[in-house]
């Protein structure tokens, strides 16, 4: 399923953290990994000495960065590319030309990509990329990014809209490839108790049953076996809390060719920011 991976880098420590995820993903296959550095329009390459502090987030001299990458991915098919241009547009266009199966991006960086999570680069890539995008766990500037060590439990957040089956199938394929458990999460404010509403307990029980029936029907129709979890509350917070509670190693959410999917669209960046594990936007 994952034959070609694209790792955009800006020679920062967080990009080496993203390479840890590549190492995990490469366990079940032997993908071609393209390491792409976009210099940025009019931007100069970062330079400076390597800091040995675990909190330092770069930049790292290219030769040292590539050597560290070689130690992380020994024996794998790694291709290096460097191109000038607008970072987001160049990443998306390269992925399309190369038939990339997955783009792996850290959530912060230096140089042209330092606004990685909520800035324009990630937003544009998430919106424009025709392939799934893996975003790492978001951390503050003074925090060390957590390492991605294995894929044992895959969570899939769906809104039960028309594209949910496609997203669920991708998550199921990922779980099957790594012999991982799959849990389907659906979050909704309608599942929360509403103070002051007449017969609220009865109405809430009705909504829970109807939602669970819909979820079970989707699994039956797709032929996918998975655990399910209903998460009451505002979607971004509820999904993030559910993912942390079940101990998922990766969360899959949906996108359409025109952007992030359905009701999760407006919550996607909040989910990525709050998730305790990496998020794949399909």
Res 255 pLDDT > 60: yes
SS3 annotation, 176-222: HHCCCEEEEEEEEHHHCCCCCCCCHHHHHHHHHHHHHHHHHHHHHHH
Residue 140 vs residue 282, higher pLDDT:
282
Q: Where are the domains of the chain?
A: 4-135, 153-281
Encode pLDDT of 37-54 as tens digits: 998 653 333 322 222 233
In sequence order, what DSSP letters do the residues of 86-126 get, joined into one string?
Answer: -HHHHHHHHHHHTT-SEEEE-S--SGGGTTTTTSHHHHHHH
Q: Quick one: CATH architecture of 4-135?
A: 3-Layer(aba) Sandwich (3.40)
So what's the pLDDT on residue 56? 38
pLDDT in tens, 104-153: 987 664 444 444 444 567 778 888 899 999 988 755 544 445 567 899 99
Q: What is the pTM of this model?
A: 0.84
Q: What angle do CA 158, 258, 211 make, to 5 degrees?
A: 20
Other CB atoms within a 10 A radius of the CB of residue 105 amount to 28
Q: Which of the following CATH numbers is that of domain 153-281: 3.40.50.620, 3.40.640.10, 3.40.50.150, 3.60.15.10?
A: 3.40.50.620
| More confidently predicted of 189 and 217 | 217
Task: Give the residue-averaged pLDDT of 234-255.
Answer: 93
Q: Is it true that 4-135 and 153-281 share their CATH fold?
A: yes
């Amino acid at each position: 399923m994952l034959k070609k991976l694209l790792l955009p880098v800006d020679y920062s420590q967080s990009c080496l953290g993203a390479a840890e995820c590549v190492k995990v993903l490469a366990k079940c296959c032997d993908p071609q990994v393209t390491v792409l550095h976009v210099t940025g329009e009019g931007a100069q390459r970062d330079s400076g000495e390597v800091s040995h502090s675990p909190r330092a987030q770069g930049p790292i001299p290219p030769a040292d960065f590539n050597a560290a990458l070689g130690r992380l991915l020994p024996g794998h098919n790694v291709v290096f590319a460097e191109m000038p241009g607008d970072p987001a547009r160049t990443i998306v266009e390269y992925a399309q030309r190369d038939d990339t199966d997955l783009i792996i991006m850290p959530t912060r960086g230096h140089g042209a990509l330092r606004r990685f999570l909520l800035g324009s680069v990630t937003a544009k890539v998430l919106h424009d990329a025709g392939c799934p995008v893996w975003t790492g766990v978001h951390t503050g500037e003074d925090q060390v990014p957590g390492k991605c060590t294995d894929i044992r439990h895959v969570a899939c957040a769906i809104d039960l809209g028309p594209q949910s089956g496609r997203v669920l199938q991708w998550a199921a394929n990922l779980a099957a490839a790594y012999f991982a458990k799959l849990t389907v999460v659906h979050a909704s404010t309608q599942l929360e108790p509403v103070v002051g509403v007449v017969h609220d307990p009865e109405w809430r029980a009705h909504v829970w049953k109807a939602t669970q029936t819909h979820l079970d029907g989707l699994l039956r129709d797709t032929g996918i076996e998975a655990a399910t979890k209903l998460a009451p509350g505002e979607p971004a917070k509820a999904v993030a809390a559910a993912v942390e509670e079940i101990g998922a190693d990766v969360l899959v959410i949906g996108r359409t060719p025109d952007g992030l999917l359905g009701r999760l669209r407006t919550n996607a960046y909040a989910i990525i920011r709050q998730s305790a594990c990496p998020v794949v936007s399909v």
